[in-house]
Structure 1
Amino acid sequence: MGAIESAAQAAAWLLAALTRELGLFAAIGLAVGGLDDLAVDGLWIGRSLWRRATVYRRHARMTMATLPPPEEPGAIAIFIGAWSESAVIGAMLRAALAGIRHGDYRIYVGTYPNDPETERAVLGVGDARIRRVGGVLPGPTTKAECLNRIWQSMLADERASGRRFKAIVLHDAEDVIHPHELDLYDRMIERFDLVQIPVLPLLANESRWAWTISATYADEFAESHQKSLVLREAVGAAVPSAGVGCAIQRAMMARIAEQGGGLPFSADSLTEDYELGLRVRAMGGRSAFIAMPVAPGKGLVAVRAHFPETIEAAVRQKTRWIIGIALAGWDRLRWDGGVTERWMRLRDRRAPIAALVLAVAYGALLLSIVCRIAGIRPDWPDALEPILTLTGALLVWRLAMRALFVTKAYGWREGLCAIPRVFIANIIEIAAAWRAVLHYVPGTTPIWDKTRHRFPERVGE
């Protein structure tokens, strides 16, 4: 009997100690991350108030209706990498051709020899403004390798025609291209080397569960593209390309290509779009994030697309992002730049650590419940109470900010739903970070681990 009691006491002590240590680690980690987010929020609020009190009192907000025409209108090339996209590429191209108002553009679609379905879908559109770019390597390679082939094809077209494109625009095979998008680029690329417009994920409707998963992307992009990218530009840090809805000045792309031996995209990168924005900044280029409405009270010129609707697909996609930005990005891009640039890169690369803190926090919460049920009282340190008070206040603030930005982008109902969706997003983030750490091998050449896409049945959905 004494042995059983001793074992029970030892187990209770171990449970209490584990709960205490995990709880303290999680509380400190959440406090540090929350204060980092609070600093970003404070700077964004200060900037917004300052611009409202100064700039917007003297000048009306620019819209597409009041945007001056370009000084020298030019041709625009749209790059689309397409591996296993036969389900969406045809509808996407037809919608783009029917909707784009700009009169001088060409769409380049990169395909693969072992993907004849996608090739047939592209050729089936049958429009002279579309140029299919085949390759020798079987797919999937990396998206960057595909984009490099498109770049070389574009150069060949320029040599044949004797006319250069003004800008290169990046898009994916599932994107809904806004009718005014190229008009916006044609004007703004004369002032900036890289222009990024907002990405507004479409909400799925087939089932409540699918809607919940895809809506987490809407929540994250709503906050990132209304606050984080705006602040990065304001503090002088690089504006990373989102990979879609991004235009790069032709001359700047050529400069980047010169550094890469004639190829502008890093073929061994999973996040060539993110790196592109940082390279533009490193070369002294000017980048801008532009959220411009079509007219007063109308919607923004933005990219819309369906994002993954299952946990498995979301985890795979975010694994690729974490590997490319947080893990490989650390190895490839290091910590160049000033204080604000390093701060933003730290925020970009904190995903694995943040996921660890979240996982520990959920574990500590579960163990605390077990302790309460078992009547075990962990010996909490005195310092824990003020830390928990701080993290609780920061959590309320973070949820309020998330709801605010989602409300601005999607309405108050989605803003309220964004609060419980944070839990779903956290679970996906934890799983993706774990998968990224297990799969990342420094120095290896990655492959295009892409997710299945769908295009809306009606553009404007």
Structure 2
Amino acid sequence: MRWLDAFTSYLYGLSVIVTVIAVMILISSLDDFFIDSVYWIRRLWRSLFVYYTCEHTHYHELYRPAERPLAIMVPAWKETGVIGHMAELAATTLDYENYHIFVGTYPNDPDTQADVDEVCARFPNVHKVVCARPGPTSKADCLNNVLDAIMQFERRAHVTFEGFILHDSEDVVCEHELRLFNYLVHRKDLIQIPVYPFERQWNNFTSLHYLDEFAELHGKDIPVREALAGQVPSAGVGTCFSRRAILALIEDGNGIAFDAQSLTEDYDIGLRLKERGMAEIFVRFPVLRYQRHPKRGQLGQSRREANVVCVREYFPDRLATAVRQKSRWIIGIVYQGYRTHGWKRNLVLNYFLWRDRKGAINNFVSFAAMLIMAQLVLIGLLQVVWPDAPRFMSIFEGRPWFDAVLIANISLMGNRMLQRIIFVSSYYGAKQGLLSIPRLLWGNLINFMANWRAISQIIRTGDPRRVAWDKTTHDFPSIGGENRAKHSLDEMLVANGAISEAELHDAQLHRIDGLQLGSSMIHEGRITAEELALQTAAQIGVACESVDPSRLSRELLNTVPRQIALHYAVVPLRVDAGMLVLASESYIDPVSLAAIARQLERRVRYVIAHKGQVTVGLRLWYAQVRDGERDPHRLLVAAADKGLIRRDRVSLLWNDYMSRQVMLGEILVAQGLLDEVAFKALLLSYARSEQRLGEFLIDQGVISPETLNRLLKLQASLQPSVASLFEQEWATFGPVGRAS
């Protein structure tokens, strides 16, 4: 029968294909087994001979270095509703304060721009960057625009960033991430921390197969690569570059750090920095102070591995989205990587480059092996169901060497599954570790489809470097709350009847030199300090209170160290339900409030005090005596006791004195020498200085000594002294309290 002859020929051809695929699988499996062996031998050696004599670095060591300025770069195209969550989570989570987030937006994406504007209103350390070209461009192009904006901010704010960190807007960062980068950035030029995807429902194989791949890649493969080749590919998130590395990239690119045509600029950068001889490190640093996972002690979970400093995010949960994302990775790493970097002289590095690129073949081989297995199973089932069916000799018979190859492949596949279970379980627990086995088949299908799509795109464009960037959307964990932009204080003053529009316009035209608008209106008598404080509190969404700085509790004052009080311009008022209540004259952003709580090791909240009340409190209790002037309130009371001024005038004079006190920072901003964001950035550096603020600003090159002298004279002319108040009173009422 012809069909029998055809089927026999088919089986013969299948046997040839199976032989080729089996040999290719054996080569790849032996390659993977080599990495496994190196990892476990190295781990055993370190446990027996390294950590036996040297303890693991404790997380307390991360707090030793002073906080260096760090810049977080976030590209954002069509990210409405996401960046606000990231900033909120970073502010409330990161155990670090000296950082700024620069968000790259596009001129043709107004919704994302509006969202970032709202975030910037609440978080002074978040800055919007608008790219020069409409989007979507490549991620690398967006990052180039962001980096240019950072350099401009450095010149304007007189701040020098020591680390440049890559993140996406949907990333969830660990509490100690910036501490870890700060600890290493002066020694290493590229620092990469692990990425661990969030779990979804158990049957969402598309999203969860990322979990399996990253757990093994960042648990085993990348540490081995770093140990043998000294080269670490960036993951695109959770990567910190030293300033030296960024400047080298800019120099290499003739002013452009990131390759705008690359779909995987992160992978490209790791190789470029390696060529420059820069130090790269992959860091798995566990923080064992607590167990991060809510389910403590899950079966198979390692306490050390499950608490490493890492980046977490949701990965695509739809097949088409996952294929689109992975095809971009394949084009960037395999095809563009080979086109750009070729092969190196370093044989060990070439070995890992081959491992990066073998996926272009392996994905097809694995998928073909799945199809062949399915066919052989169907043939076997057919012979079981149809006993009278013709019997054919097995394609595996008659070749002893091939039997050995199959046995080796089966054994190595068993090892592959065991490794996957171990590394997935160590972070996520045994349940996810066991589920990773059926997800292997689904992952093979996704990788095959992604590879096919990548090749199709390259054929269509004719050049892998001409393939357009294809953004993948992500989810962000819900943390509750809404982004809330601050309304204009000027508008609120008018809307609530504190001042008319005409008066406001006149106040803007005739603002007193050296004062911001609110202070200027108080000095001119257009509004009161209480009215300004009420509207400021309403604008922020906190309570407003009048504070008498002369009656603050000494016991509470001792609980807030001098450097904290002066740096954040706060004074303690009381303890309410276990929470320390602080007074401030202005908005305290969430990053600073969280930093205060960490430093005081207690929960805190704040209220808005009337202008000058906190300033005078700081001078009374924390700062050195100014110009030899003693406690001004006591001087007023003493003058009333001696009959020099009327007693009923003491309270009025005291409030007038406080409301017209001016801090040097306000004058700097009002004079246009610094903006508020730049001044805040400088204060973070000033917090570690023993100098006076003026001397520090001179050393930083912000102002000259002549400018400082001018500003101090302006400050003295703007704020009254007690002596000037007495003179005014005597001129009005006479020295013994009788009207003249």
Contact 1:142 1:270 (C-alpha < 8 Å) held by counterparts: yes
TM-score normalised over the length of structure 1: 0.94
Aligned to 1:116: 110
SS in 1 for 2:235: coil
Cα distance, 1:368 vs. partner?
2.1
C-alpha deviations, 1:33-57, integer Å up to 9, x for none?
1000000011111110111111111
Select which of 146, 163, 183 maps to 1:167. Answer: 163
SS in 1 for 2:100: strand
| Alpha-carbon separation, structure 2, partners of 1:420 and 1:337 | 40
Select which of 15, 21, 24 maps to 1:20. Answer: 15
Structure 1 pair 123–446 and aligned structure 2 pair: CA distance change class (3 A): farther
Aligned to 1:419: 437
Contact 1:142 1:446 (C-alpha < 8 Å) held by counterparts: no
Structure 1 segment 59-78 matched on structure 2, within 5 A? 59-67=54-62, 69-70=64-65, 73-78=67-72
Contact 2:230 2:280 (C-alpha < 8 Å) held by counterparts: no
Structure 1 segment 118-267 matched on structure 2, within 5 A? 118-125=112-119, 126=121, 127-205=123-201, 208-210=202-204, 212-267=205-260
Contact 1:238 1:278 (C-alpha < 8 Å) held by counterparts: yes
Contact 1:244 1:303 (C-alpha < 8 Å) held by counterparts: yes
Q: Number of aligned pairs? A: 450
C-alpha deviations, 1:349-407, integer Å up to 9, x for none?
11110012112212222332344436333544503211110100000000000100011
| Alpha-carbon separation, structure 1, partners of 2:212 and 2:265 | 24
| Alpha-carbon separation, structure 1, partners of 2:116 and 2:290 | 37
Contact 1:23 1:360 (C-alpha < 8 Å) held by counterparts: no
Aligned to 1:36: 31
Cα distance, 1:302 vs. partner?
0.8
Select which of 79, 84, 95 maps to 1:90. Answer: 84
Select which of 281, 290, 294 maps to 1:288. Answer: 281
Select which of 431, 444, 452 maps to 2:473. Answer: 452
Contact 1:77 1:106 (C-alpha < 8 Å) held by counterparts: yes
Structure 1 pair 360–385 and aligned structure 2 pair: CA distance change class (3 A): same
TM-score normalised over the length of structure 2: 0.59
Aligned to 2:43: 48
Cα distance, 1:326 vs. partner?
0.7
| Alpha-carbon separation, structure 1, partners of 2:471 and 2:446 | 17
Query: Aligned pair 1:395/2:396, yes or no?
Result: no
SS in 1 for 2:35: helix
Contact 2:457 2:467 (C-alpha < 8 Å) held by counterparts: no
Structure 1 segment 368-383 matched on structure 2, within 5 A? 368-372=376-380, 373=382, 375-380=391-396, 382=399, 383=401
Contact 1:79 1:107 (C-alpha < 8 Å) held by counterparts: yes
| Alpha-carbon separation, structure 1, partners of 2:476 and 2:21 | 41
User: Which stretch shows the higher mean deviation, 412-421 or 139-148?
Assistant: 412-421
SS in 1 for 2:103: strand
Contact 1:80 1:171 (C-alpha < 8 Å) held by counterparts: yes
SS in 2 for 1:304: strand
Structure 2: segments with no counterpart, 5+ residues: 292-306, 383-388, 481-740
Identity %: 35
Structure 1 segment 239-388 matched on structure 2, within 5 A? 239-295=232-288, 298=291, 299-372=307-380, 373=382, 375-380=391-396, 382=399, 383-388=401-406
Structure 1 pair 297–32 and aligned structure 2 pair: CA distance change class (3 A): farther
Structure 1 pair 335–297 and aligned structure 2 pair: CA distance change class (3 A): farther
| Alpha-carbon separation, structure 2, partners of 1:348 and 1:110 | 30
Cα distance, 1:296 vs. partner?
5.5
Cα distance, 1:331 vs. partner?
0.5
C-alpha deviations, 1:160-189, integer Å up to 9, x for none?
223210010000011001121111101111
Cα distance, 1:300 vs. partner?
1.4
SS in 1 for 2:131: coil
Please tell me the root mean square deviation across aligned C-alpha atoms, in Å: 1.6
| Alpha-carbon separation, structure 2, partners of 1:21 and 1:9 | 19
| Alpha-carbon separation, structure 2, partners of 1:400 and 1:231 | 18
| Alpha-carbon separation, structure 1, partners of 2:360 and 2:226 | 25
Structure 1: segments with no counterpart, 5+ residues: none
Select which of 460, 463, 466 maps to 1:442. Answer: 463
SS in 1 for 2:166: strand
Structure 1 pair 442–162 and aligned structure 2 pair: CA distance change class (3 A): same
Structure 1 pair 31–296 and aligned structure 2 pair: CA distance change class (3 A): farther
Contact 1:78 1:171 (C-alpha < 8 Å) held by counterparts: yes
Cα distance, 1:243 vs. partner?
0.5
| Alpha-carbon separation, structure 2, partners of 1:285 and 1:28 | 38
Cα distance, 1:65 vs. partner?
2.6
Contact 1:88 1:453 (C-alpha < 8 Å) held by counterparts: no
Cα distance, 1:236 vs. partner?
2.6
AA matched with 1:134: V
Contact 1:79 1:150 (C-alpha < 8 Å) held by counterparts: yes
Aligned to 1:406: 424
| Alpha-carbon separation, structure 1, partners of 2:167 and 2:58 | 23
C-alpha deviations, 1:318-345, integer Å up to 9, x for none?
1010000011111111112411100111
AA matched with 2:75: G
Cα distance, 1:114 vs. partner?
1.4
Contact 1:15 1:371 (C-alpha < 8 Å) held by counterparts: no
Structure 1 pair 379–97 and aligned structure 2 pair: CA distance change class (3 A): closer
User: Which stretch shows the higher mean deviation, 360-369 or 18-27?
Assistant: 360-369
Larger Rg: 2
| Alpha-carbon separation, structure 2, partners of 1:188 and 1:454 | 31
User: Which stretch shows the higher mean deviation, 119-128 or 253-262?
Assistant: 119-128
| Alpha-carbon separation, structure 1, partners of 2:59 and 2:479 | 24
| Alpha-carbon separation, structure 1, partners of 2:75 and 2:126 | 13
Contact 1:237 1:344 (C-alpha < 8 Å) held by counterparts: no
AA matched with 1:146: C
AA matched with 2:409: T
